[in-house]
Chain A
Amino acid sequence: MKPNHDPFNPCGSSDHFSRRTLLKSLGVAGMSWLTPLADLLAVEAEQTKKGLPARSVILLWMAGAPSQLDTFDPHPGSKISGGLGSIPTAIKGVNFAPAMEQTASVMQDVSLIRSMVSLEGDHERAFYNIKTGYRPNPTLVHPSIGAIICHELPDAKIEIPTHVSILPNQWPGRGGFFGAEYDAFQIGDPDQPVPDVRAPVAGSRLENRLEGLSVVENAFARGRRSDLDLKTLHQATMSKARRLMTSDQLKAFDVSQVPTAERKAYGDTPFGRGCLAAVRLIEAGVRCVEVTLDGWDTHANNLEGQAKQAAILDPAFATLIRELKQRGLLEHTIVVCGGEFGRTPTINVVGGRDHWPTGFSMLVAGGGFAGGRIVGETDPTGEKKDPANPVRVEDLHTTVPHLLGLDHTKEIMTPVGRPIALSEGKVISELES
């Protein structure tokens, strides 16, 4: 069986990073492996799938679980509304909570699922589920959707990590059984420089340090298996890290040079800057960027808490869609926005809404998702638990790879010796453009 991944180039092309290239790059006499040589990157045209336009994915995780009633699925006038009104959107007959005004205006390019159902009602388990498409399993750690995409669609031209997590909470996208090399590269507020990419010394001192390293590595390798670095990947990973340090593409992370007006359009919050950076990273060729907005877990004072979060999300999301469209990126970029579950129709004694995994909302756009469509419906009385036309978490996880041109039924051999499909749901065909 073909190995699941090319360990040398986890998010790069598996085609042209052969062992020979590696050995050559390690160089017996020279220290070429220590220098981020551009020729480590075989420059080859990216293989694009014809007719299936999606190339990359932006995931906006609303951690803590937003209330569908206070965002995308209000039921004004009902006893479960919490007294909230609603505003019209670009989709006829579909209303949002008043706080989602800007998002309402871009809905011609976005579709809404109002009937997401999850079998998990605990944050950690549900987050795992919504990020991987699988429920937590004691024998196996599943890769998150971003890791799957990087694994299945490598790209050698990218010198920066192609799986990026901006402002992650405690559960950033993970490589799971693909290995930690597929873990999302984590950064904080893009206002700050990317951590640890600047060498503390430069020039001849840096050269000295690196040159000494080859002496030390030679001593360690003596008497060990001849393919030691194939096992440890130490030097190969270091080469990639060095390549990243000197890459021009790093600029995509830096939003400080972006004109103030453009930054402000996103709301000029950490999350807004995260969305801005996401667009720039996608433009630079990154496969998957996730941006997390934490703080939706309003077990008390729901109305206030949700409004506060919505005010952060609304301008950032709407601007992200507009910008992607304007730059011609939207048709190649899938955008998914939502939480791990929703919140109860009933309001508890301290004015909060609790966990509600049946009938929560998710926004999807771009990359083969149609705009202006709506799937599912929740009960305006809140009495019926199950929504009409339910969409399971695994269905979303099947549709995304499908739109990326991947065969979601493809089985991958896991370390426990059990083959597992990329995802186990069905394609949400009514949302395909």
Chain B
Amino acid sequence: MKNFFAQKSFLEWLRNGLLLAAILTGSGLAIGRLWSPHMLPARAMTPSANESVEGISRVVTQLNEAFAEEWRKQGLQPAAPAPMLAVARRLSLALTGTVPSVQEIRSLEAQPEGEQLQWWISRLLPDRRYSDYFAERFARAFVGVEDGPFIVYRRRRLVDWMSDALSANRPYDQMVRDLIDAKGVWTTHPEVNFVTATVVPEKGPDKAKLAARVSRAFLGVRIDCVECHDGKLGSTWKQRDFHQLASFFGQTENSLGGVQDNPKLQYEYRFLKKKETETVPAVVPWDPELMPQDGAARERLAKWVTAPGNRPFARAIVNRVWALMFNKPLVTPVDSIPLEGPFPPALEILANDFTAHGSDLRRLIRVIATTQVFQLDSRPANPDPAATAETDAHWASFPMTRLRSDQVAGSVVQASSLTTLDAETHIIYRLKRLIDTGGFLKRYGDSGEDEFGSQSGTIPQRLLMMNGEVVQGHVQPNPVFNASARIATLAPDDASAVETAYLAVFSRRPTPEETAYFTGKLQGTADQRGEAMADLYWTLMNSTEFSWNH
């Protein structure tokens, strides 16, 4: 516990230091402009040809028709279109892990109607927050969340490498090939950490773990279920299938020179009920004709996994990106898509499109975000509880899901600032954000590797939101850091104070009832205005609306 105290006092010291530095450097932002809708430069990149509205319109129509057909068949009426700000919120949560800032909302609303969604996508995709956030999400599937083997594994470097790749919009198949066939030292070749994450001391890279990662993360198939025995419960996988896949890593070793392939090594395994260990050949579990004949084992595997004809590869990433966008995959669990189907029509349409357009992740994201289904209201057309299961199953309304801990933490921090906290934000604010979110995730409950499992809400989460330091620190009247205090001081009147708080925390405007209620609370608070705003912030952050995606 000594450490705890030491850490705490250090954090407090740092926080105070930052506060002072912020005041001295005059970095308090001129947020007066935020009350007007036309104050900040809009930064959005022109999308590539692959991403242009014309370029994606055909596949978007195809997807819309596929869902419409399904709703017709099921006799379901889709939900109404969601308000633009609701779509902006879910997109921001999906791509950056936070709610949009008031600054962003103002800029968005300054765009011509009808162009706002595409503008918003173009604003978010080039943002470093997107590549950092998606890199972390991918890393969870590719290498897990643990720190892993000491020294030889640098998770951070791998995440940064992926973030760079996403930022440059490198084709996804190239990224995956680099990971599977990575060679060199973990520090200078960050992609090598995909292999070294599995290193067992004195034994080297864990071949079975690597095969499991490849099969689940890149192919959406859980062949690792047959690591110890042949498939059960209808599975036709054999134990041999898995170990033949693992055998592609049979020559991979890790030494002082880093990860490399040693042709002298072979993969050996003793199968269940066999007395002897045997050498297992490297054989892919399906479509062997897609694999090149020549080359080292890992290189051939990398090419086979990412071959355009290898459908499970495209399906796996489409299902994962869909899951990241909706907080719910098309096929559940996200890494277990039956090889022979049946496939939801959207999965096939998107997988085809992904392969046909050079494994372009940004195009995939833009296509998904542009579909009707992504823009549906989360309020179903038929709110009868008996009908909701069908509605949910067929995506006839936007699914309501619990936000993950990282999204809640990110939103608490972002909502307490009126301006956008991104890569260009002053270092002091970014530092504070990092300090604030670290402990929060652990206490709120990190979702771990399986980010789309149905997480239930817990008492510690509610305690943390009601009473914890992070929320308290972000709602209290602190004029340097907190939006609540700035709004209290700068908002021209009570109604705009309430509205700004709603935009910052909920990304929507208050209903007339809410405006009436909360302006009533602010009225005549005079000296206590800061506290009254803090109370409003607390209330909004402790609501269902704040901790759910909708």
- Chain A interface residues (CB < 8 Å from chain B): 7, 124, 138-139, 141, 161, 175, 179-181, 183, 185-186, 188-189, 191-192, 195-201, 205, 208-210, 212-213, 215-220, 223-235, 237-238, 240-242, 244-245, 270, 415, 418
Contacts of A192 in B (CB 8 A): 1, 4
Contact of A139 among B146, B222, B385, B459 (CB under 8 A): B222
B residues at A contact (CB < 8 Å): 1, 4, 146, 212, 216, 222, 224-225, 233, 333, 336, 378-380, 383-385, 388, 400, 402, 443, 445, 453-464, 466-468, 472, 510-511, 513-514, 517-518, 521, 531, 535-536, 538-540, 542-545, 547-548
What's the A-B contact tally at a CB cutoff of 8 Å? 149
A183 in contact with B445 (CB, 8 Å):
yes
A213 lies within 8 A of B539 (CB): yes
Known contacts A216-B545, A219-B510, A238-B542; 10 additional CB pairs below 8 A are A138-B212, A180-B456, A200-B467, A212-B521, A212-B535, A218-B513, A224-B379, A225-B388, A231-B400, A245-B463
Q: How far is the CA of A234 from the CA of B443 in the complex (A)?
A: 17
- Of the candidates A7, A124, A138, A196, the one whose C-beta lies within 8 Å of that of B468 is A196
A189-B1, A213-B543 are known contacts. Are A223 and B383 too (CB-CB below 8 A)?
yes
- Which secondary structure dominates where chain B touches chain A? helix
B206 to chain A, nearest CB (A): 10
Q: How long is the Cα–Cα vector from A141 to B466 in the complex, in angstroms?
A: 29
Q: CA of A230 to CA of B400 in the docked complex: distance in angstroms?
A: 13
Q: CB distance B1 to A205 under 8 Å?
A: no
Knowing A215-B514, A223-B379, A223-B383 touch, does A234 contact B547 (C-beta < 8 A)? Answer: yes
How far is B543's CA from A139's CA once the two chains are assembled, in angstroms? 33
- Choice from A213, A223, A228 contacting B542 with Cβ under 8 Å: A213
Chain B contacts of A234 at CB under 8 A? 457, 543-544, 547-548
CA distance A280 to B538 in the complex (A): 34
Q: Which of B402, B466, B521 has the most CB of A within 10 A?
A: B466
Cα of A229 to Cα of B402 in the assembled complex, Å = 12
Which of B212, B400, B467, B517 meets A197, CB within 8 Å?
A: B467
Q: Are A188 and B1 in contact (CB under 8 A)?
A: yes
Contact (Cβ within 8 A) A183 B467: no
Contact at B544–A232, with CB atoms within 8 Å? Answer: yes
Closest 6 CB pairs of A and B: A241-B462, A196-B463, A212-B539, A179-B456, A234-B544, A223-B379
- Which residues of chain B have C-beta atoms less than 8 A from A141's C-beta? 453
With a 10 A CB-CB cut-off, give which of B212, B383, B462, B468 has the most chain A CB atoms: B462
Q: Output the least CB separation between B540 and chain A (Å).
A: 6
Ordered by A's residue number, 7 sampled pairs between the chains whose C-beta atoms are within 8 Å are A185-B459, A185-B460, A208-B535, A233-B456, A234-B457, A234-B547, A237-B459
From A181, A200, A205, A231, contact of B458 by CB (8 A) = A181
Q: A209-B535, A212-B518, A212-B539 are in contact. Are A237 and B458 (CB under 8 A)?
A: yes
Q: Point out the residues of chain B lying under 8 angstroms from A139, CB to CB.
A: 222, 225, 333, 336
By beta carbon, the residue of chain A nearest B379 is A223
Across the interface, do B1 and A212 meet the contact criterion of CB distance under 8 Å? Answer: no
Say yes or no: B468 contacts A215, CB within 8 Å: no
Q: Among A179, A226, A241, A415, find the residue whose CB has the most chain B CB atoms closer than 10 A.
A: A241
CB distance from A391 to the nearest CB of B (A): 22
A175 CB contacts on chain B under 8 angstroms:
456
Q: Chain B residues near A229 (CB, 8 Å)?
A: 544
Q: How far is the CA of A244 from the CA of B517 in the complex (A)?
A: 29
Contact partners of B544 in chain A: CB under 8 A: 217, 220, 228-229, 232, 234-235
**A198: nearest chain-B partner, CB-CB:** B467
